[in-house]
Structure 1
Amino acid sequence: MSAHRAIVRAGGTVSVATRPTPAPRTGELSVATLCAGLCGTDIQILRGLRDDPAPVIGHEGIARVVAVGDDAPAWCTPGTLVAVNPTHPTDPGFLLGHNVDGLLQERTLLPAAALTGGMVVPLPAATDVGLAPLLEPLAVVEYALGALSAFAPRTLLVLGDGTIGHLAVRAARRKLGEDVRVVLVHHTAEGRVFSRSLPHHADLLLTPAELAAARPAGPVAALLATPRDATVAALEAVLAVAGPDLVVDIVGGLPHGARTAALPGLDLASVRAANCGGLPDPPRITTTGRGVRLFGHRGVANHHLLTAAAELALAPGHYRDLITHETDLAGAARVMRRLAGSRNRVIDGRRLVKCAVRINDREDA
């Protein structure tokens, strides 16, 4: 294949375009995406909330190795099923789908840093590719809940009703214990109605206004799975209702230098950036002047991806319905244009949680 199709950002919109397909050089790797997901950060890029430069986005998915350059490890041969860990823990030059072209294309050339940095993760041949869009976000949830479990919370507050929020609700008891009370806080009343219709939902479904009147039983853990322009407000909402026996994980992004008067002098973005790609392990946690423990993280370690893959293989029915839409490259470009121009998450008559993009369906892709 000397050319391939890709969803390309250009001229303020996205469309399917043909791109040249370079052969991998020494240390590089070419993969064919089988199925990829559209992520909340992708939507933020489309809406101009982030300035990531890659013209091809997409960092959630499963691919098959097509060609390898010289010096590839012995396991990395054509036909191998892989996931790509999108966030390099020590090399900011590799951030898949952000500053390196992502997976929403028929062929993706991965730079040498991906292999030398161990960012390409082989998967079992029997992996359910249809669940690929949930793999990386579930790995994020594995990281978050694993860190929060050290504090033995009685209540878990999940703010944000996107993919991460819904996955956290479903994985909470497995990671935090059967007795934990799970509360999901939605952006809108319509989101709460949707959540209630799902086969697996939180013990308590609230809107932000209802959270303000809640008094969650402590100890309380909060997971903020919000867009970067809503994360500070979500943190302030949690601080207003919980006592000092509170630990907060900032999963959602933050603007550079983000602060809140509720925690004077604290650079929230720096707190989140202190943990990257699973390092350090355990994560670095800040204790604020009011006794609240606060941390965040960007990316996951490979073992989080493999744990998530094992969980999806063990209980696929527990998660599969969160893939609410499935389409091809052209359909995904249409969905992306809709989401870029509107905050309305209803696409084709159904609320979008996770969109699966089937790109290469052939076994020999």
Structure 2
Amino acid sequence: MTRAAHRAIVRSGGRVRVEYRPTPRPVAGELLVAPQTAGLCGTDLQMLRGLRDDPAPVIGHEGSAVVLEAGPGVDPGLAPGTRVVINPTHPSDPSFLLGHHVDGLLQERALIPATAVDGGLVTPLPEHLAAGDLAALLEPLATVCYALSVLATERPRTLLVVGDGTVGHLAVRAATRRLGPAVRTVHVHHTEAGLRWSRDRAHRADVLLTAEDLAAARDGREPLREVLGEGPLGVVLATPRDATLTCLEQVLRATGRDLAVDLVGGVPADATSPLLPGVALAAVRAANCGGRPDPAHGVTVTATTGARVRLCGHRGVSDRHLRTAAAELGAAPDRYRDLVTHVTGIDQAARIMRHLAAGRDRTWEGRRLVKLAVRLAPPTAPNLEN
């Protein structure tokens, strides 16, 4: 007896390689999908570098897919041939976290369990997005749309974005479209190399800074008041989990004013700050999961700097945010297209992942890597003997 097989990028024992895996068959309530485009994100890099203990050997939670086979009882709207995006975060079932607890999209076939299908986490997409490289930006842009909708209630005149990964760049580019054309954007980069890349972009922020600029302002050597202007200030912290707390404290000290902060970047489970007495930062993020509740829950505290701080965060998005992101990419594709800096097949993607896992260098083939989009080809493996 033989079983169908497909290729997958598998991480195991510190190694990353392409392997053949048995292709599962969906049972009641499940879907078998063929990922079309999958993106690599910051949390994926943390897993590759051993900074997270998520168990899934196949990572990848960003991208699009086509339904190949539906198990009994699946809604007819998800029939074979339907192009979909899968929401990676279940709002009420922590066992489903795509690419973290459940095998992700960096493979030629993926099984979506019934809990995700029944939970409404599989959303049909316009065909042009499902098949294109921009699909790698769908989930991170949905996260940005969520964050900006939260900050919009404070009507910020300036948006300060900390972090120069994909989410940071998306926040800068979506700001005027989500917060209004008058909003001013200030973008803090982790390195000079990141700032140089942004400087050459058509859709860069109004003001480009480095982390050193923020640190200088924190120490009182270079106040940010003139840079940030007057009026309400919104902040997006698009930072790795091991940097979010430090960057939050730098922002609080550097600005010294009332502000609203969205914690897009994760934080350690026990993260607290003496600048925000009594605030458990991880709990602030965990209060909003998968787009619930709506509106999002936040806390307002007085920092030891004397500033009023409105603090919010979230894990995952809702299908509404994914649809909003799809509409945004469809309406203004050229505003976001150059963020997909590298497009590869599965074998080259594994080589890039090994390179990224080995260090902090984000250069590949002489170019800065912002977003890697992996095109997943049809299965090429022979049948496996049972």
> Secondary structure of 2:153's partner?
helix
* Residue 347 of structure 1, CA deviation: 1.1
CA distance in 2, matches of 1:325, 1:139: 21
* Residue 244 of structure 1, CA deviation: 3.9
> Secondary structure of 2:65's partner?
strand
Return the match for 2:196 from 165, 174, 193.
193
Match of 1:256 in 2: 269
TM-score by length of 2: 0.92
> Secondary structure of 2:160's partner?
strand
Match of 1:11 in 2: 13
Return the match for 2:41 from 39, 42, 49.
39
> Secondary structure of 1:287's partner?
strand
Match of 2:158 in 1: 155
> Secondary structure of 2:51's partner?
coil
Match of 1:337 in 2: 354
Contact 1:257 1:270 in 2 (8 A): no
CA distance in 2, matches of 1:259, 1:13: 34
CA distance in 2, matches of 1:125, 1:157: 34
Match of 1:99 in 2: 101
Aligned residue type for 2:135: A
> Secondary structure of 2:289's partner?
coil
Match of 2:243 in 1: 230
> Secondary structure of 1:53's partner?
coil
Match of 1:184 in 2: 187
Contact 2:9 2:350 in 1 (8 A): yes
> Secondary structure of 1:101's partner?
coil
- For each residue in 1:7-29, what CA deviation from the matched residue of structure 2 results, as whole angstroms up to 9, or x when unmatched? 00112111000000011011110
Aligned residue type for 2:302: G
- For each residue in 1:170-197, what CA deviation from the matched residue of structure 2 results, as whole angstroms up to 9, or x when unmatched? 1101111111110000011111111101
Contact 1:57 1:101 in 2 (8 A): yes
Contact 1:324 1:353 in 2 (8 A): yes
Matched, 1:305 2:322: yes
Contact 2:133 2:343 in 1 (8 A): no
Return the match for 2:172 from 164, 169, 172.
169
> Secondary structure of 2:66's partner?
strand
Identity of aligned pairs, percent?
60
Match of 1:268 in 2: 281
Return the match for 1:58 from 51, 56, 60.
60
CA distance in 2, matches of 1:272, 1:244: 22
Match of 1:348 in 2: 365
Contact 1:258 1:268 in 2 (8 A): yes
Matched, 1:247 2:260: yes
> Secondary structure of 1:126's partner?
helix
Contact 1:28 1:109 in 2 (8 A): yes
Match of 1:129 in 2: 132
CA distance in 1, matches of 2:210, 2:147: 22
Match of 1:25 in 2: 27
Deviates further, 92-101 or 203-212? 203-212
Contact 2:39 2:137 in 1 (8 A): yes
Match of 2:382 in 1: none
* Residue 270 of structure 1, CA deviation: 0.8
Could you tell me which runs of 5 or more consecutive residues in structure 1 were left unpaired when the two chains were aligned: none
Aligned residue type for 2:97: L
* Residue 361 of structure 1, CA deviation: 6.5
Matched, 1:292 2:309: yes
Aligned residue type for 1:323: V
Q: How many residues align?
A: 362
- For each residue in 1:9-58, what CA deviation from the matched residue of structure 2 results, as whole angstroms up to 9, or x when unmatched? 11211100000001101111000001110011100111111111100000
Aligned residue type for 2:154: F
- For each residue in 1:49-106, what CA deviation from the matched residue of structure 2 results, as whole angstroms up to 9, or x when unmatched? 1111100000001100001111010111111100000001111011000000000000
Deviates further, 122-131 or 313-322? 122-131
CA distance in 1, matches of 2:212, 2:158: 18
CA distance in 2, matches of 1:338, 1:260: 34
Contact 1:34 1:361 in 2 (8 A): no
CA distance in 2, matches of 1:7, 1:356: 14
Aligned residue type for 1:325: H
CA distance in 1, matches of 2:196, 2:77: 47
CA distance in 2, matches of 1:260, 1:187: 21
Match of 2:296 in 1: 283
TM-score by length of 1: 0.97
Contact 1:8 1:14 in 2 (8 A): yes
